[in-house]
Amino acid sequence: MSGPRESSVDRLLLHPGIQRVPNPRVELFQSRNFLPGDLRQDLITLIEANRRPSTIADDNGDRYFRTSETCDLNAGEPAVQRLESMLADLSGIDPAFGEPIQGQRYAVGQEFKPHTDYFVADGVDFTKFCSVAGQRTWTFMIYLNDVEVGGATRFKAIGKTFQPEAGKLLCWNNRRTDGSVNPNTLHHGMKVRRGLKYVITKWYREKEWGWE
């Protein structure tokens, strides 16, 4: 897979500091200190000003499944434009295929139970979320701060847990090499036990983003 809508293992590994998790079941990477401190603080300020209760596609009736707060960041903000440029340079994906950058805030006790970022084909909201821009392809997630206790991201299927560290980026391909969705990307945003956790998430799609 290649072209303006795709990233690749080779492309990502060209960047200093990018490390691939050595597991053949998933294309998963990390980069410590990806985001500088001044930009992290600007993004935290934007999240604080615009946060709202998080929601999920295909609501499963568990009101405690995702308990964080969320906001879509304004693309006109200088901090957001700077981040978009950094992500485009890293991934090689044309920004036209990206969803708006989302920020999340987790307080003590809040979590996002094990989930995948792709949309399930037999889910009630599949057509709604995939009819315009198609399925999600890549996820890029960045921790904006150090968390006092808790708040790790656990990929249970491959036995890998990442601790939140200010500026650390995680990214993964939500599909297998044949283009089918990859259930090994199941991950858990674990409960914050002390302090706050701020996260940035950027998702890309198969087609250009066409939602208003």
Fold of 9-205: Jelly Rolls (2.60.120)
**Cα–Cα separations (whole angstroms), residue 191 to 67, 86, 130, 147, 194:** 9, 29, 29, 11, 9
Q: How far apart are CA 111 and CA 72, in angstroms?
A: 19
Residue 193: predicted pLDDT: 97
pLDDT reading at 143 higher than 70: yes
In this prediction, residue 40 carries a pLDDT of 98
Tell me how far apart the alpha carbons of residues 75 and 78 are, in angstroms, rounded to a whole number: 8
C-alpha dihedral sign at 105, 31, 117, 130: positive
- Please compute the mean of the pLDDT values over residues 139-166 and round it to a whole number: 97
Instruction: Note the pLDDT of residue 174.
Output: 97
pLDDT digits (tens, 9 = 90+) for 85-132: 999 999 999 999 999 999 999 999 999 898 999 988 877 678 877 888
Tokens 């939500």, residue located = 174
DSSP string for residues in 149-170: EE--EEEGGGTEEE---TT-EE
pLDDT digits (tens, 9 = 90+) for 179-207: 999 999 999 999 999 999 999 999 999 99
pLDDT at position 108, please?
95
According to the model, what pLDDT value does residue 61 have? 52
Residue 174: closest CA among 127, 118, 131, 129: 118
136-143/112-115 β-pairing: unpaired
CB 91 within 8 A of CB 4: no
Instruction: With 0.95 as the threshold, say if the pTM is over it.
Output: no
pLDDT of residue 2: 56
Read out DSSP for 58-127?
S--S-TTSB--EEEEPPTTSHHHHHHHHHHHHHH---GGGBPPPEEEEE-BT--EEEE-SSPPTTSTTHH
CA–CA separation, 198 and 74 (whole Å):
17
Between 54 and 59, where is the model more confident?
A: 54
Confidence of residue 39 (pLDDT cuts 50, 70, 90): very high
Average the pLDDT over 135-156 and give the result: 97
> How confident is the model at residue 17, as a pLDDT?
95
**Mean pLDDT to the nearest integer, 51-55:** 80
Beta-bridged to residue 19, according to DSSP, are 30
Is the pLDDT at 52 greater than 90, yes or no?
A: no
Distance CA 13, CA 27 (A): 12
More confident site: 19 or 114 = 19
